């Protein structure tokens, strides 16, 4: 099978499987990849997580060093009106449409095609080429945590998230908190009698907006500064009742190194400084930022290799969303992000990836494996 045919066949196979999260059901995709790799004779396994959730892991070669090509099998839901069936791959004018086309079944297909091609031709790899595709990246990272609990960290890792085939070395973290503003419920027809939960919430929104302006002034060599936004306000009880509680949901994008406790303290300080004291905070979600230094040897070599394949220069840059690079870095791998498709297409109606980028990505992954596992370390 030609390299192009292998990439496209794997892509079509993955795109036809419903791995929308929730509920996920990544076991179907993991089983599909298991059939492909087992048929080729590659040692592999489906790591069962229960409830239809599963990871897929395959290893070509043995011992150190280990280069990991990885990503996630789940995709986000498919709301809105699509011109093309979302749970399929429809090609039109060189673009493949469907949910997960760029985020990130395209990257998974390209990585798998590169690995299977290297195995088929008995490429002289010294060490291990490991593929690791996990469940639940789009929600709570269940699959990544289960994978890292079972497998030792790779020496180097590439996540195939959509970067438009640019080498990304850092991403911001994300913290989401519920902020409950408290007051006394009362009839809406009664005269004003002090601050209510609603007016307290209004002042809180302004205080958080001011904090966002201050945070935006922070600088990082690669990443944009931190950001903070109120994304939800809830408080309705009845048409003629001023509610006793108003709940805000905040989304805070963090620079690498910022902890959950530090993010929480920033919110608390901003509210207290604005004179707001009757509130409580609850963590909804936290993912740290991640950063591989731009001058790291792996980043440098990845830029050089992919630049040669693509015929253009590569400069390390930021990945525009949160991703699981942070967990790989915490485990000890030197991890970066590189994959086909644009992040601007991720999670959109009629999401797409180009045929050309799928093929180029596979060629880049192949070349990187040959570079890193050539015995020179």
pLDDT at 190: 87
* Together in a domain, 278 and 295: no
Cβ atoms of residues 111 and 122 within 8 Å: no
Confirm whether 377 is domain-assigned: no
The CATH number of residue 214's host domain is 3.30.70.360
The CATH number of residue 12's host domain is 3.40.630.10
Single out the catalytic residue among 26, 68, 74, 324: 74
Boundary-marking domain end, from 231, 255, 287: 287
Domain that holds residue 278: 173-287
pLDDT at 365: 98
Single out the catalytic residue among 137, 161, 324, 350: 137
Q: What predicted TM-score, i.e. pTM, was given to this entire model? A: 0.93
* Together in a domain, 297 and 354: yes
* Together in a domain, 101 and 154: yes
Annotated catalytic, 74? yes
Boundary-marking domain end, from 226, 258, 287: 287
Query: Please, what is the end-to-end C-alpha distance for the chain in angstroms?
Result: 31
* Together in a domain, 86 and 116: yes
What is the count of structural domains for the chain? 2
Tens place of pLDDT for every residue, the chain, 377 residues? 888 999 999 999 999 999 999 999 999 999 999 999 999 999 999 999 999 999 999 999 999 999 999 999 999 999 999 999 999 999 999 999 999 999 999 999 999 999 999 999 999 999 999 999 999 999 999 999 999 999 999 999 999 999 999 999 999 999 999 999 999 999 999 877 789 999 999 999 999 999 999 999 999 999 999 999 999 999 999 999 999 999 999 999 999 999 999 999 999 999 999 999 999 999 999 999 999 999 999 999 999 999 999 999 999 999 999 999 999 999 999 999 999 999 999 999 999 999 999 999 999 999 999 999 986 65
Closest CA to 206 of 230, 176, 231, 238: 230
Confirm whether 110 is domain-assigned: yes
pLDDT at 1: 83
Boundary-marking domain end, from 287, 322, 347: 287
* Together in a domain, 245 and 97: no
Cβ atoms of residues 61 and 126 within 8 Å: yes
* Together in a domain, 248 and 321: no
């Amino acid at each position: 099978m030609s390299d192009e045919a292998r990439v496209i066949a794997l892509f079509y196979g993955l795109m036809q499987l419903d791995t929308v999260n929730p509920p996920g059901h990544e076991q179907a995709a993991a089983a599909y990849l298991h059939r492909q790799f087992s048929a080729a004779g590659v040692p592999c396994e489906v790591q069962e997580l229960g409830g239809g959730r599963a990871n897929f892991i395959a290893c070509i070669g043995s011992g150190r060093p280990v280069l990991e090509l990885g990503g996630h099998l789940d995709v986000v839901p498919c709301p809105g009106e699509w011109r093309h069936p979302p749970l399929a791959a429809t090609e039109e004018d060189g673009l493949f449409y469907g949910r997960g086309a760029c985020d990130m079944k395209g990257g998974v297909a390209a990585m798998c095609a590169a690995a299977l091609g290297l195995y088929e031709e008995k490429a002289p790899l010294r060490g291990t080429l490991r593929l690791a595709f996990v469940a639940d990246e789009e929600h709570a990272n269940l699959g990544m945590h289960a994978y890292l609990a079972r497998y030792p960290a790779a020496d180097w890792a590439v996540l195939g998230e959509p970067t438009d085939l640019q080498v990304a070395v850092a991403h911001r973290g994300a913290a989401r908190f519920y902020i409950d503003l408290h007051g006394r419920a009362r009839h809406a027809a009664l005269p004003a009698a002090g601050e209510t939960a609603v007016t307290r919430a209004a002042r809180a929104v302004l205080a958080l907006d001011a904090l966002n302006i201050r945070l935006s002034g922070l600088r990082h060599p690669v990443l944009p500064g931190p950001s903070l936004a109120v994304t939800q306000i809830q408080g309705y009880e009845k048409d003629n009742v001023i509610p006793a509680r108003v709940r805000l949901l905040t989304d805070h994008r963090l620079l690498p190194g910022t902890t959950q406790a530090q993010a929480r303290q920033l919110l608390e300080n901003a509210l207290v400084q604005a004179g707001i004291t009757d509130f409580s905070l609850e963590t909804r979600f936290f993912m740290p930022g991640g950063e591989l230094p731009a001058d790291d040897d792996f980043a440098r070599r990845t830029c050089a290799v992919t630049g040669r394949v693509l015929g253009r220069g590569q400069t390390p840059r930021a990945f525009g969303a949160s991703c699981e690079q942070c967990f790989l870095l915490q485990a000890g791998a030197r991890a970066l992000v590189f994959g086909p498709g644009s992040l601007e297409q991720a999670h959109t109606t009629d999401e797409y990836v180009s045929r050309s980028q799928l093929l180029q990505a596979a060629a880049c992954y192949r070349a990187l494996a040959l570079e890193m596992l050539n015995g020179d370390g």
